[in-house]
Amino acid sequence: MSIFRDRQVKFFSFFIILYIVLIFGSGMWLCQTQIAASKSMYLEHDRAIVSVLLEQGISKEVIANAVSSTNTSAAGIEFLNDLGIKQNTLNALLPHFSQFQYHFLLMALGVCICLTIILSIGLISFLRIRNKLYQQTEKIIDNYINNDYSCHLPQNSDGEIFHLFASVERLATMLQAKNETEHKTKEFLKSTISDISHQLKTPLAALMMYQEIIEAEPDNADTVKEFSQKIGAALKRMEQLILSMLKITRLDTGNILFDKRVCPVQELIRNAISELTTRAVQEKKQLIVQGNPNETVICDMDWTSEAIGNLVKNALDHTEAGGMIKITWESTPTMLRILVSDNGNGIAPEDIHHIFKRFYRSKYSLNTPGIGLGLPLAKSIVEGQGGIISVQSVLHEGTTFSVSFLTKS
């Protein structure tokens, strides 16, 4: 039975077994003692009778026959009745039996008291241990209710109660994980709202200023055209900011289900740079794609294309005219690595550990376009699919981003 797997119950059961054995042993000892006492009483009674008869001059042969005889007669019974010695005679009136009874009751009482004390000690010890366990459990569960998970229920023993403790611990672990997730979600949303509010202040202020300028010079066509274009650019920047933040938020909260499948790497890169080749030509920057056209990778085509595209955009933003951005890929038996390299401005050592933070802008890139969300979005997309993204850079020499994915599921 599973109840006997409980160590405390097992020890108490062992104690009860020993107690029962002790009862039988005590009973046997008491019986043996009383048999010996009965024999002693019988002999003492016979000695007294024989002594009296010898003093009266009765022959030894008659006395021997009387002592060894087991026969009774009506005359003998009547004689004893006349003496007041019969079945209903008070024990106190029978000297030998009275002494025997006194010793027997005294010994029986002593044995019962000892057995009761032993049983009480065992039972009280078991109940105290159990009560201490229950009090400790109640305190820990109260802590769980108050979101304090620093203490844990004992789980180092078998038995029903400890199986129950294990179930409560699993429930507490789930609640703790849920609370931590909710806390992180709240902090993330708080941070996201704060970031969006902060980032929208500048374009909103610019929009209000542009609107005031247009209202002040409504008849000046050049002014209206110029600031209308600036309004359009500001609105586009705000739209890009909000869309990027929504994407990052959905990715970081796990609300995106990636459609991972085997994708040709060449097609992946083609989709990533399809809208950037014209910009590269206009800015007189060379965009080179190089790799085995037969290589494949397991990923979500659309999301991964956007991540690679963001890395290429970052390279274009930080490369001067005449510079080169190179996209290559290489494979191992289990991994495929995509490299986006440029010979642009590079990243300062003090900035390289912060480039994946939202809205982070290095002091060397204040004059470059962008809103500071391209690299964080790329990181969320890659890592959300179980990939790895890393960066190596030398200031004023160039930067290489590396994206690695499994080639086999």
Cβ-contact 336, 295 below 8 angstroms:
yes
Cβ-contact 12, 121 below 8 angstroms:
no
Is residue 133's pLDDT more than 80? no
Report helix, strand or coil for 117. helix
Cβ-contact 100, 48 below 8 angstroms:
no
pLDDT digits (tens, 9 = 90+) for 359-404: 777 666 645 666 677 888 899 899 988 999 999 999 889 999 999 9
pLDDT digits (tens, 9 = 90+) for 281-300: 999 999 999 999 999 999 99
Query: Could you tell me where the DSSP H helices lie in 253-367?
Result: 265-273, 277-282, 301-317
Contacts of 366 (CB under 8 A, 6+ apart): none
DSSP code for 337: E
Domains of the chain: 2-145 (no CATH), 160-252 (1.10.287), 261-406 (3.30.565.10)
Please, is 258 exposed, middle or buried when counting C-beta atoms within 10 Å of its C-beta (0-12, 13-18, 19+)?
middle
pLDDT digits (tens, 9 = 90+) for 237-249: 777 677 777 777 7
pLDDT digits (tens, 9 = 90+) for 325-353: 999 999 888 889 999 999 988 888 888 88
In 3D space, the residue among 234, 258, 195 whose CA is nearest the CA of residue 386 turns out to be 258
Lowest-confidence pick of 29-33, 139-143, 150-154: 150-154
Q: What is the pLDDT of residue 328?
A: 95
Please, is 109 exposed, middle or buried when counting C-beta atoms within 10 Å of its C-beta (0-12, 13-18, 19+)?
exposed
Q: What are phi and psi of 136, to 5 degrees?
A: -60, -40
Q: What is the pLDDT of residue 83?
A: 63
Cβ-contact 350, 370 below 8 angstroms:
no
Whole-number Cα distances in Å, 373 to 212, 239, 300, 307, 405 = 30, 13, 20, 11, 22
Whole-number Cα distances in Å, 90 to 82, 84, 85 = 15, 10, 9
Rg, C-alpha atoms of the chain: 50
Structure tokens at 392: 């190596």
